[in-house]
Structure 1
């Protein structure tokens, strides 16, 4: 326990190793007779697993934040160069932007790093991120099935979601075990990478994944923007995310927060499917509109609680 964490007693952080092992074992069991994405999925698992193992070491030795970021960038860059990347953006009806290779690599690398850090930063309350990841993986798996993607991709999403469900009782409602950086970084990289792999079949899959993850992405990115505006150091630990302020000042517990956050995630996934049902050319604009709604909701939720613990006018 310390000033940044929301718990008052020592708790093991090694649960992420079980998540990694279960996910890898489950996907390997699906490989015999698998289709066209076998190589890409194997490489994704390897890179995500490597980041997870780095996270496990970080849980023990607490590496500097800049070292962690460098590891994320290098592994995300390796994925973008050797596995898959986002190379087409459907921007408007009849408008498809073909990205130059260097732009596609940069965009994919940035996407993976953002998703990994968003999941990692939000993993501070019992069950909150684990449950949200399960829902996002289930949504991605359903999207893959609807898009007619390789059944191996659908199976990988199902396996990873099931691994999260297996871990959840250890972390929710009472935290007997945390997934630590091992689990959060592995899961973030895997979810982001699965969305990129699915983009080969369904170009707007990363847009769906971004909408599904809006509750996580909005809180993380806007909190960083707010800290930048107030000239607070970005690499220092803090308790200024909305979910942290909510825990600190509402008097309600982790379970109440998790149920609310899961409901928001479920609503975001439903919105993602609604956007996906629109013509392809409209999906980018609708995703931007959804992001705008997410920003507005963040401001509304955060307004009653300030980072210094005071309420407006107090």
Structure 2
């Protein structure tokens, strides 16, 4: 077969399959990057967790030794407990974002100014958020203690008290997370069917009944994204803890991601294998929640057909 005939055959094959092949050509770079920078490191972390390794010398195979050590590690359970607290309280950002979005979806005077004020926390860095709340909680000149001092209370050293420190950092994290959920719901509200709203009004629905039975069901895609992003944010909460307390006091504000950093790259002697085992546990927790929401979303879509 001549070269011209081969070229014609190849060209005709692409023309016949152009609609099916072209999207994959555009997706290929993203898929390759995702496999190389996300999927491959996941399996690499799982592999490293079976070794005792300082990152420089030859790794030593210890099997499940790192996971056995985790089982007896009190610091691990403190971090896990704090992660669960983060997870539960962080979800408050979702209904808060929804109600702020409902307020900002109104057509009233000055609404653009209100939108800018509520949008502001989303665009600033988490480092800046951490610094602002550190000053806010300061027991000597912080606004929190100035405020409660009006009522004869305080001072309270929020970041220095092991009873309050985790809740203080979570409050700092909820502020920008609420803004993110608000943006998702504002986008979702633009897609709400006005005909359904009018039909519900004719049937006498208003207030909470309108919100729960008509508006919220149409916001399911936005709610799904808000849940996934919020859960991931709660489980990988590192930057605020690093800025505000560095895990203190007495390690009581640690979460799994921060503890992983400590044992792998900080004061505990570069224990890469042990840090990887913590990362695997964190990944499995995250995978469980995301798989649950994906399954719920699939069931809802399947039931709606």
TM class by smaller structure: under 0.3
Structure showing greater radius of gyration is 2
**TM-score where L is the length of structure 1:** 0.26
Normalising by structure 2, what TM-score?
0.26
